[in-house]
A and B are shown apart, each in its own frame.
Chain A
Amino acid sequence: MAAQIDIDEVHWLLDIVQCLDVGVIVLDRQYRVEVWNSFMENHSGMGPSQVYGKTLFELFGEVDEAWFRRKADSVLQLGTRAFSLWEQRPYLLHFKNYQPITGHEDFMYQNVTFLPLVGAKGEVEHLCVVIYDVTAVAILKKQLAARGGQ
């Protein structure tokens, strides 16, 4: 990314983050939502005003809090990334499959990346959670396994 960004570009960048077809959530150290892009808005049915300042655990009962805290704490304390893969944990948030008509699965398989966000003081002040829809890959792999082709 360019080292210097003018204010116009900030607008584009925000637009891009908004429109990415991956979920982008920024949480503070208390796991309260600060950024929520349109992927998150559309799949959860909740707008930014409904989620802002609430913790992920209040918003989504399906999140395994102990597990999430363990992942997130290591990111916040150690400053390294953490990952969650659909093979071990099919989803973080229970979203509908993108193919409600032709799809065979009821929910969206997700890979999740936890990124540390470093503030101006050099400390990790926020956590970015990026959610990828990997339903297509998961279905193919499961079909392959079912046919003994693994």
Chain B
Amino acid sequence: MPSTVIPLLVCDDSAMARKQLIRALPADWPVSITQATQGEEALQAIRQGLGQVVLLDLTMPVMDGYEVLAHLRDEGLKAKVVVVSGDVQEEAVRRVSDLGALAFLKKPADPDDLRRTLAGLGLLVPSTAKGPQTPPRAEPVLTVNFRDTLREVSNIAMGRAAALLARVLGVFVQLPIPNVNIFEVSELHMALTDAQRGERLSAVCQGFIGDAIAGEALLLFHDSEVADMARLIGVQPKGERDTSEMLLDLASLLIGACLTGIAEQIDVRFSQGHPQLLGQHASIERLIHLNRTRWKKTLAVEISYSLEGHDVHFDLLLLFTEDSLARLTDKINYLMG
């Protein structure tokens, strides 16, 4: 291998995200690509000299991107890291830059942005090959499945929602890896009961539909945390009505941003119904009456946000109807293609 070839490491838990990123790389950039699915694998690869340049995701299982950056710093490993993340909070950008990342790109990475960023960092050395052009890079074969793709789409969407939430509340939002599952309706009830953790809940529900994809977004609030939320927003709810409105506003923000994020990626426009406050201070059984006779299965995307330094969590569920699956699969297949 000629010495001008740069060892590049692409680290993301989503195969779909890695595929997208590898495709977005400048075609004339002479690199040899190694892939890692989480932080520990990334560190191993970097120690073996496979990551002179690293494209690093933040939200990953086992070891996340922040930890990778901290390890690199502590071990004095020389890797040039560009973070490519769905978590677009200003605080996230600040933290990774403090930890030594050279640049921050939001997902899905735009090829032109990526080229500009790499060139700006002096990493994109134009190929010195004498020939008219460098031979096309062999694209690694990656099998990407539906669930992985929808998880990545949700990941990007929830990152945007979190950035808005962070702005409104002035906090850092801890992002989880979204859960994507196809549930029997009876199992859904169990999952919801799980989310309840034995507490009283309030829930806001909003229907959406677009391009033959329909469903409901459900945001669950834990009653014990509502007072903390009000303090963060800087409102003092005078009674039940104000509290309801505060929950409604927060729900509209999170649901709206998340749905818009998903809609843009799969290229649909959703109509949204009026949100409904399903009830307050109730158990999940009282809040949600599932229409078991109509639906057998539902596709559920579960996202649990928590706020750093506060005991506040939101559980956002996007439930897609069984008959939306065909169209959603088409759309996702197109993204995977």
Chain A contacts to B: CB under 8 angstroms: 71, 74, 78, 80-85, 87-89, 111, 113, 132
Contacts and interface: CB of A to CB of B under 8 A. Distances in A.
A101 B71 CA distance: 75
Interface stretch (B135-143, B191-199, B245-253, B303-311): B245-253
Contacts of A89: 241, 245
A74 B249 contact: yes
15 contacts: A71-B249, A74-B253, A78-B167, A78-B253, A80-B164, A81-B272, A83-B274, A84-B245, A85-B275, A85-B277, A87-B277, A88-B241, A88-B245, A88-B277, A132-B274
Contacts of A71: 249
Q: For A80, A81, A84, A132, which residue has the most chain B Cβ atoms within 10 angstroms?
A: A80
Contact of A82 (B164, B167, B252, B260): B252
Contacts of A88: 241, 244-245, 248, 277
B299 interface: no
Contacts of A87: 244, 277
Given A85-B277, A89-B241, 15 more contacts: A74-B253, A78-B167, A80-B252, A80-B253, A80-B260, A81-B256, A82-B249, A83-B274, A83-B275, A84-B245, A85-B248, A87-B277, A88-B248, A88-B277, A132-B274
Chain A contact residues, majority secondary structure = mixed
B232 to A, nearest CB: 14
Chain B contact residues, majority secondary structure = helix
B248 A74 contact: no
A14 to B, nearest CB: 21
Contact of B168 (A78, A111, A113, A132): A78
B257 A113 contact: no
A62 B244 CA distance: 21
B164 A78 contact: yes
Contact of A83 (B164, B167, B241, B248): B248
B248 A81 contact: no
A78 B163 CA distance: 10
Nearest to A132: B274
Contacts of B260: 80
Given A85-B274, A85-B275, A85-B277, A80 B245 contact: no
